[in-house]
Amino acid sequence: MDFAELSSMIIRSLVNNCGKLQSVEVEIELTPGLPQMHFLGLADQGIKESIYRIRCAIRKQGFKYPRSHQILVNLRPAHFKKNSRGLELAVAAGLLAKTGQIAWPKMVSLVYGELSLGGEVTEPEDLKLFQPAAGEVCLTGSFNSEEGKTAGTQTKFVVSNLRGLKAPQYVPAQVENHKWQRPREYSAFEWSEEQARWLQIMAVGGHHSLLAGASGIGKTTLAKTLNSLLPPPESKWAGEYKTYFDLPSWRPIAVPHHTISTQGLLGGGVPLVAGEITRAHGGILILDELLEFDPATLEALREPIEEGLIRLRKRNIRETFPAQFQLVATTNLCPCGDWVPGKKRNCHYSKAKCLSTFRRVTGPFLDRFQILYFVKKAKNMSSCSDSMRSQEILAKLEGIFEFQKGQYRVDLNSRRAENHLEVSSNLIKLHGLEEVSPRRRISTLRVARTLADLEYQEVIRSHHIEEARLWTIFPFQALKQGSPSAGPFD
């Protein structure tokens, strides 16, 4: 048969574009010449190396490799750099079908699999991150482990080697039933009345908060406990998250080390990949020891905090990653770590030195925190009648979450616009909110909306705003003056 007379073979496969799997057309053409394979369409070195695996696998499996034709493989669209873990199966299967050595399965619309030198085919791990269109059937390899068998949610044709292309095994899609498992490691912890109130406000409203206080007082534990009190994830979020990372058992919690680079936190590189703020999408981003982070890295967080996404550009490639996270940061108040708000400093640092500690954090970034909470050492919980266990807090919050659903809330309170908070101008004037900055005013109204939710109230009332000021205005003012009060419960 004269292969040059055959029409081009066009099949669909997947490549990596900006950290996501994108469908591409693989066009295969045979022309007279030396038996060499050439990739067109900005294939990277990894794809070019697959030439040798494809040739060796075809011969090892007993098929014939063209001896008097060169093989042209065109990847469309051709305007971006491509790398792929499973493109080689598409090329091998397309070449065998074009040369008449196998019959192409009619139902197959997508081919993606890794080849060994011996011709064995395995399913790439990143295939589960691809969201197939309705009715789309993928031809891929066998599973690497038993765990992989339970992860598939796509209708597939599966082959263990190239010879299996003659009769691929049909595997119907499994019904996805992801079970969320709420973290329990902090369920037995007891919290003071003030700490429990902070946990309730943060879990219901999704606010950004800075925890400040002496070292070893439990700020990080308090922040991590918050994740176990959040409402279960929504299916929409799960679909977004699977595009970039494996689904966790609960809402994600990212705790990057303070030495992380701006690119590692926000994302970037070639190709563009998501950073830690996208890993925290739908969950919590904890910046432990805030003042140890690079100030430039913190400043770069300002826009993602406000917009809930990050826009990146590398050369001629643009990509937008989701980043709607809840930010919780922890920090000491003094270089020695022993200064407790409301008490006299007993270290050798001067007052000016203590106040200068916060100068590494600029005012605009600090203003992104809606709540500033000065954490104090908890009293003996066994003798405190107002203490609450995490389980008791969660039991109260479950009813609040149902109340919010009944109000048809679309956004978290932390992101609601001022004109959607339904507060009369008289209340704003009564509590002096016209005298503060617009950001502080909106933060106060958002927290007031959360306090109203905690009381199953549809309307924000005066006492809600009054308490909200204790979380959103007074602590920031006290911090600037250098004499922070002990907290809203004093």
Residues of the chain with CATH 3.30.230.10: 3-171
pLDDT at 333: 77
Sequence-ordered list of residues with C-beta below 8 angstroms from that of 258, at least 6 positions apart, any chain: 287, 288, 289, 292, 293
- The secondary structure element, H or E, covering residue 363 is helix 363-366
pLDDT at residue 107, rounded to an integer: 81
Tens digit of pLDDT at every position of the chain (490 positions): 333 344 567 888 999 876 678 899 999 999 988 889 999 998 999 899 999 999 999 999 999 999 889 999 999 998 888 889 999 999 999 999 989 899 887 788 899 999 999 999 999 988 877 877 767 889 999 875 444 443 455 778 899 999 999 988 888 765 556 788 999 888 888 999 999 999 999 999 999 999 988 888 889 999 999 999 999 988 788 878 877 888 889 999 999 999 999 999 999 887 778 899 999 999 999 999 999 999 999 999 999 999 999 998 876 677 888 999 999 999 987 777 666 556 666 667 776 776 666 677 888 899 999 999 998 876 555 555 678 999 999 999 999 999 988 876 667 889 888 777 888 788 888 888 888 899 999 999 999 999 999 999 999 999 999 999 999 999 988 877 765 444 554 5
Dihedral pair phi/psi, residue 38, rounded to 5°: -130, 130
CATH of domain 3-171: 3.30.230.10
What per-residue confidence (pLDDT) applies to 151? 43
List, by residue range, all CATH 3.40.50.300 domains of the chain: 190-481
Q: What's the confidence (pLDDT) of residue 385?
A: 61
3-state secondary structure of 83: strand
d(Cα 69, Cα 66) in Å, to the nearest integer?
A: 6
Q: What angle do CA 204, 205, 208 make, to 5 degrees?
A: 125
Assign a CATH topology to domain 190-481: Rossmann fold (3.40.50)
- 390 and 202 in contact (C-beta within 8 Å)? no
C-beta separation of 209 from 371 below 8 A: yes
pLDDT of residue 144: 59
- Angstrom distance (rounded) from CA 138 to CA 61: 22
Tell me which residue has tokens 């004499």.
Answer: 483
Residue with tokens 């502080």: 440
- Helix-, strand-, coil-residue percentages of the chain, each rounded to 5: 35, 20, 45
The answer to pTM > 0.75 is: no
Determine the pLDDT at residue 445: 94
**In 3-state terms, what secondary structure has residue 271?**
coil
First to last CA, the chain: 90
The single residue listed with the structure tokens 């950001």 is 439
Cα distance between residue 77 and residue 26, in whole Å: 9
pLDDT score for 379: 59
Give the whole-angstrom CA distance, residue 41 versus residue 341.
62
- pLDDT for 430 equals 84
pLDDT at 210: 96
- The tokens describing 46, both together, are 């990894």
**pLDDT score of 367:** 92
Q: Which residues contact 193 (CB under 8 A, 6 or more apart)?
A: 386, 387, 388, 489
